[in-house]
Amino acid sequence: MPQASSAPAAAATLSFPFETAPVPGRWIEIHPDVRWLRMPLPFALDHINLWMLRGPLGWTVIDTGYHNAATRNAWDELLPHHAPLERIVVTHCHPDHFGHAGWFTSTFGLPLYMTEAEYLTGHALYESTSGYGAEALANLYRMHGLDAGRLAAISSRPSGYRNAITPPPRTFRRIVHGDILQLGCHAWRVIVGYRHAPEHASLYCESLGLLISGDMLLPKISTNTSVWTTEPDGDPVAQFLTSIRAFTELPDDTLVLPSHGMPFRGIRARVEALGAHHAERLQELLGACDEPRTAAEILPVLFRRELDTHQLFFAMGEAIAHLNHLHHRGRVERSTGADGAYRFQAVRH
């Protein structure tokens, strides 16, 4: 789920056709065949948008919400108005999207449509498979200079992921980039993006002029792009920026249905604003690396607020990602200090 800093919204060039959002247990019609739902989240980012698509055989659920009582209560209110159900589609494996997938499949016998990498990653996180558990995370953050006290706080957390989702479905139907899915009464094209998540699926309907963007394109904040334990030298910032450029090929009057925030128009302006935001943050980091710095030491450059343990988890991943991006582009050198931690220093020309 997004936990990154706010990014310029290019408010002058984005338009927001809806003044209010639905309350949990209710909906707003985007189109007679498309309904907008909103569910609560127990974080500073306090909501997620979900979508229901009407079809001749029943309703398609797009994302399922976090696994908690508030979300289940909202579904209990909504489902009598959305029967029968036909399938669920999950954009990616983060718990606010995947949280109730297992409940839907087991309770209603619904098929799950999802990309393979997201499905398998969800299972790996749920089982704390080697490379996905707290120990691997602590090792990564230790390599990037996080102190013992904060490492202990992160390591001692109960499995947030396992508690945030129902037991994941045992089977799925794989979707890939470019697939055309007949969801409800309309055809939707799968647009895969990286690296907010391993293989995030957005959905575009040309006939309706709608893009269900998931977490890849949000109106007010820049979605989290973190280095993960299984790919510690990866460059998720480059993957994310390349991925969102694909959205600029869509008509600019497309109505974007994001997972967080309000539906909006102005795809190109938003993509440009996000690119400018990341460029600005990278430049700030470069300035901060006039001397060798660890990722932990540059956290205040990216995040100008006090971070709780939950936020620290995302912040470290994002800090490492931006430093890796500069390193891959030859803007900083990486060395290993006597303490075993990586340090990054700007290349002097």
CATH number of 336's domain: 3.60.15.10
Distance, CA of 206 to CA of 147 (rounded, Å): 50
Q: Above pLDDT 70, what percent of the chain?
A: 96
Which H/E stretch holds residue 299?
helix 299-302
On whether residue 18 sits in a domain, the answer given is no
Tokens of 67: 């696994």
8 Å CB contact between 312 and 44: no
Give the number of other Cβ atoms within 10 Å of residue 79's Cβ.
Answer: 17
Domain count, the chain: 1
Distance, CA of 179 to CA of 113 (rounded, Å): 11
On whether residue 42 sits in a domain, the answer given is yes
pLDDT top residue among 153 and 104: 104
On whether residue 15 sits in a domain, the answer given is no
The pLDDT of residue 40 is: 97
On whether residue 9 sits in a domain, the answer given is no
Distance, CA of 251 to CA of 113 (rounded, Å): 26
Distance, CA of 26 to CA of 322 (rounded, Å): 39
| DSSP sequence for 274-298 | HHHHHHHHHHHHHHHTTS-B-TTTT
For the chain, the residue count is: 349
Report pLDDT digits (tens) over 41-93. Answer: 998 899 999 999 999 999 999 999 999 999 999 999 999 999 999 999 999 99
Beta-bridge mates of residue 201 = 192
On whether residue 279 sits in a domain, the answer given is yes
Distance, CA of 227 to CA of 84 (rounded, Å): 40
- The identity of residue 41, as a single letter, is L
pLDDT band for 135, please (50, 70, 90 cuts).
Answer: confident
pLDDT band for 274, please (50, 70, 90 cuts).
Answer: very high
pLDDT band for 308, please (50, 70, 90 cuts).
Answer: confident
Distance, CA of 55 to CA of 49 (rounded, Å): 20
Mean pLDDT of the chain: 94
Integer angstrom CA distances of residue 110 from 38, 176, 239, 268: 21, 20, 32, 36
Which H/E stretch holds residue 202?
strand 200-205
Q: Is 311's pLDDT higher than 50?
A: yes
Which H/E stretch holds residue 137?
helix 134-143
Distance, CA of 321 to CA of 224 (rounded, Å): 10
The pLDDT of residue 158 is: 65
Distance, CA of 322 to CA of 286 (rounded, Å): 10
Which range of residues forms the domain containing residue 80?
A: 28-346
On whether residue 7 sits in a domain, the answer given is no
Q: In what order do the strands lie in the sheet with 255-258?
A: 180-183, 186-193, 200-205, 210-214, 255-258
On whether residue 308 sits in a domain, the answer given is yes
On whether residue 19 sits in a domain, the answer given is no
